[in-house]
Homo-oligomer: A and B are copies of this chain.
Amino acid sequence: MNDYQHILLAVDYSEHGDYVAVKARSLANKYQAKLSIIHVLDNIPMPDTSYGTVIPLNKDSSYDLLEAEKAKLMQLGDQLHVDPANRWLVWGVPKQEIIRIAGQEQVDLIIVGSHGRHGLALLLGSTANSILHYALCDVMAIRLLGG
């Protein structure tokens, strides 16, 4: 089977994120594949003070953050015509969660934007700790220049 049937886009809200999203949609169309999107929240904003990092206990602000992230994912999902059931907002370590969802949902291609330190770190990590190492499916890195 050479045709992709389920493509998972790891969503990036950088200024170039739309470019990656449009490429992913285009690829899914070529293969008439299902497209899913995932965004992993890997940190809670923690203000630094001179006494060290303070973990905010204000539940409302965490809730607001989550709602804002959800709204962004829903907007992108609508834009890319992604079925609401295939939009994943997850807390955790990005590469672990991407690989976990890819396995669970029988994804055969993961698409990640590759730019700057963050993008490369996600793809590469250390050799023994990268998406490329652990993914049981194909991985495509969309190159973003200037990142």
* Chain A interfacial positions (CB closer than 8 Å to B): 2-3, 22-23, 26, 30-31, 114, 120-121, 123-124, 127, 130, 132-133, 135-143, 145
B residues less than 8 Å from A121 (CB atoms) = 127
CB <8 Å contact, A140 and B143: no
> Would you give 22 A-B contacts (Cβ < 8 Å), ordered by A?
A2-B22, A2-B23, A2-B26, A23-B138, A30-B30, A30-B31, A114-B139, A120-B132, A120-B133, A121-B127, A123-B132, A124-B124, A124-B130, A124-B132, A124-B133, A132-B141, A135-B143, A138-B142, A138-B143, A139-B140, A139-B143, A141-B141
CB <8 Å contact, A143 and B133: no
CB <8 Å contact, B132 and A137: no
Q: How far is the CA of A142 from the CA of B132 in the complex (A)?
A: 10
Main secondary structure of the interface of A (DSSP, over half): mixed
Extra pairs beyond A138-B143, A139-B141 (18, CB < 8 Å): A2-B22, A23-B138, A30-B30, A114-B138, A114-B139, A120-B127, A120-B132, A123-B132, A124-B124, A124-B130, A132-B141, A136-B145, A137-B143, A138-B140, A138-B141, A138-B142, A139-B140, A141-B141
Closest residue of chain B to A114 (Cβ to Cβ) is B132
B residues less than 8 Å from A132 (CB atoms) = 114, 120, 123-124, 141
Q: How far is the CA of A132 from the CA of B133 in the complex (A)?
A: 14
B residues less than 8 Å from A138 (CB atoms) = 23, 114, 140-143
